[in-house]
Structure 1
Amino acid sequence: MLASRRILLIIGGGIAAYKSLDLIRRLRERGASVTPVLTRAGSEFVTPLSVSALAGRNVFQDLFDLTDEAEMGHIELSRSADLIVVAPATADLMAKMAQGHADDLASTLLLATDTPVLVAPSMNVRMWDHPATQRNMKTLKEDGVAFVGPNEGDMACGEYGPGRMAEPLEIVAAIETRIAKGPLAGKRILVTSGPTHEPIDPVRYIANRSSGAQGTAIASALSALGADVIFVTGPADVQPPEGVTVVPVQTAQEMLDAVEDALPVDAGIFAAAVADWRVKSASERKLKKTKDGLPDLSFAENPDILATVCKSKEKRPDLVVGFAAETDDVLKHATAKRKRKGCDWIVANDVSPGTGIMGGSENDVTLITDDGAEDWPRLSKDQVARRLAQKIAEALA
């Protein structure tokens, strides 16, 4: 897929810059050519000699380098690639991109191009969570910039949380997806997946048996067809797919907030098993057994994410697909749910005891649309995902 593809790689100034060396190697293994641009701060972490040796060509660093400008001006450099990748994308680089600054070679290249851009953020967790960075990320996404990561984990500074740059192979997968000329190239699709956890107290919560496997498979299948996928997932048993923008959440309210932040999109696939209820006032301390017996828990209804999106006048996607996991009268309940929620399609499946569907590796679904109910044979969840992704591609064509 990457054979003869031209990647312009901008290496920002962060400790994760060392991963860019492996990224160059991985891209060249797949036949891509890599033109490296090293920022001044980036050169504090990796040397031009190391980058040049792995890329097999000169490193571009200075905006006013007369030799480089004579050989290939920065305007041509910014437009001769199939994709511009910024890895690591620091908070400073993201801010420059969002505000349209052009005070060095990297920011000038990013402003003077109509080439697709993919960024792999890398920064301290506090910097990532800062409202300014979140505003910049939202602006960049609205401008059509694609994201991979950041991941969550230990930081070089000793803190823990989101902000780690995606691993080189994750970035390669995202590059392949961005470059792929699939039927969903240029389409932005939201997928929700997994269960939600509604806290009772600091150690207990309400949940369900959803593994997140089906939603994960759908996100991966859509990405393979070229879509830019935003994957909002609860605490699933399976790892999220590579090459998508992962937004981890815990509760139904957090999932709704993440969904609304992701809009607008071309299509929304709501495969998450969202808890219908939550404890109205979760305890801040662990509840203890008492002589009086069971604790007195008061419940409240969770927000209806699918209905909220379907009824949105300004940001409703062109195609909304819901899921209905039922234990009896599956078609009747799923058809009623589709009408009640207002979604275009609904994927119904029987999760009654003995089917092995909930948390299993297979699914037995019926797709309900305006044209009626279409029964599918029992398939692996990956096969269901590919079949559904193809139908989505046909609908959005």
Structure 2
Amino acid sequence: MQKRTVGLIAGGAGLAVVGGGVLAVVLLTGSGGVDAALEVLPADTTNLTYVDRDGFAERAGVGDIGHDASEKDLDRYLEATRDSAAATPLSRYLVPMKDAAINELDVDWYVVGRNNDDGYGNVYRLDDDVDFGDLGDDLEDAGYDKDEVSGHPRYTADMAVVDTATGMIGGRYPQDLRDVTLLEDEHLMIATGSPEEFIEVIDGDADSLSDSDDVADLLDQADSPEFAEISVGDGVRCGPGLGRNLSPEQLEQVARESGTDGLGHPEATGIFVVADGDDATAVSALVFGSDEDAEDDADARKDWLEHGTDPFSLRPNKDYFDLGSVSADGSIVVVEGDYENGAATAVQMAAQGSGPGACSD
């Protein structure tokens, strides 16, 4: 098998509409996992990335490493994340954030939601022992200005307080967190320039993505994922042109030469990393418009994975992926198998418009 170098930075993100009070109860009695994460996203979200950081840490044997970790333990944690997709954007700043009130090791789960019109928002569910009063005080001490939005404290840092050499605020917070709103009851930290729409969802004043049947169908294919990347509707991008500046003629040629021109184009897609004992495995799922479309795609996809080529590298698929199964269940196609460089490879390949979840443009 041909190995791929995996270099991943995550976000790079509930199945019933709930009011803010109900969500608060769910989060106060437990993290809520992926269900609670989806309940904080607006209904018009087209793409999301979810990370169960606590779940990954327990599975990888680094769940004992906490905020005040030694340098040796930090190295052990970072080593465990190298082949995993389950890292939040804060993982890049573990060392400089050691002196911050929170860091990657205080995150329970993380989700980033995007839509095609209005940008994105990052939501971190922080561990139960995080003191939000101390966090707010530390943000102000680092140079943030305090304000309020919808009754919740909001902290923003002007570019003037950002260190131009390190990109850090107060020496300990990254620019990823230049604008954060804290929701203490739900133990959430929202990092976005437009927190209002997320707060409306969390408070029960607007619908969440949890209404989506496609999202529910996709999540049914993966039990308690430690990583999930889901696209629905106009957000579906899985063809060979993903991330590449190719002309229509070049795209047609790549699709023809790789064999992806025989695949269907789904209405929703999901790539999941789930625990498999001490290891992790990846599951790709695609939702089609009809059972017949799914059956046709499953047949074509099995043949392509066995005999076709990767549209990004034009090397045989079998160099990267050992096919386990391709199945159609109603309108859903599910692909399982093993990757030479681990389950995280599946996420990298999906970002390139290749791998088992590839599709026709």
Which structure's CA Rg is the greater one?
A: 1
Normalization by structure 2: what TM-score?
0.27
Normalization by structure 1: what TM-score?
0.25
